[in-house]
Amino acid sequence: MSITAITFTFLSMGAFAFLMWTLVQKQEKNDFKFEEKLAADDRRAKANRQAAGMESGAAIGQAEAAPKQVQRQSPQEPPKPAP
């Protein structure tokens, strides 16, 4: 395949993608129900992020409030190499 054919293919694919993207953007812009669904989804996502932040903050607080137990370890000699 020649470089001209490859270039033409990429340019035509780019033009088609841009045309489709433009058509979808116009269609979404005029669809008020779709905009409402997007806004509702954004509100749910924000509420979920805030709830997750509160849960992780509570878990951190619980870990700090838990009593720390330290066990003393007896010193051990390192293993001796075999002769």
Q: Which residue has the tokens 């008020």?
A: 32
Does this model's pTM top 0.85? My answer is no
Amino acid identity, residue 83?
Answer: P
**b/e code 19-52 from CB counts within 10 Å (16+ = b):** eeeeeeeeeeeeeeeeeeeeeeeeeeeeeeeeee
Mean pLDDT, rounded, for 72-80: 64
Percent of the chain with pLDDT over 90: 43
Q: Which residue has the tokens 């001209």?
A: 4
Mean pLDDT, rounded, for 42-70: 74
Given pLDDT bands bounded at 50, 70 and 90, which one contains residue 52?
Answer: confident
Given pLDDT bands bounded at 50, 70 and 90, which one contains residue 34?
Answer: confident
